[in-house]
Each structure stands twice: as C-alpha cells, then as structure tokens.
Amino acid sequence: MNNNSTFITIIKIIVGLVLASLAIKVLFAIFSGLFWVAFRYGIPLLLAIGIVYLVSPKNNQRR
C-alpha cells in the first residue's frame, strides 16, 4: 500500500507536468530550428540543383 499523502501526490504530478512542459519546449525549439535551416538553405539548394539538371545536356556520356 502506498503511504504517500494526497498533497505529496499532487505535488509530484505538478512537478512532472512542469518538467514535461519544459522538455516539450526544448524539443520544439530544436525542431523549429531544424525546419528553419531546411527552409533557409535546403529549398534554394534543391532549386539550384534542379535548374542545373534541367539546363545541363541530356547525353549519357561522361566527359
């Protein structure tokens, strides 16, 4: 049988929720930073590669 009082149980739940909230904020910051990098540098890089691919000659021989 659990001997913890109701007050201690409520405090544990509140502390757990606060810690979970902080962890979610940190993870969200990391993922939003990764998305920013992907959109800032990845999309223009993919566009440049696509344009070079479309403009380059289509022969199968390598030089």
Cα 2 to Cα 5: distance, rounded to the nearest angstrom: 9
Beta strands, E only, 8-62 = none
Cα 5 to Cα 12: distance, rounded to the nearest angstrom: 11
Q: What is the pTM of this model?
A: 0.58
Cα 32 to Cα 29: distance, rounded to the nearest angstrom: 5
pLDDT tens readout for residues 1-60: 467 799 999 999 999 999 999 999 999 999 999 999 988 998 899 999 999 999 988 776
- Cβ neighbours for 12, distance < 8 A, ≥ 6 positions apart: 4
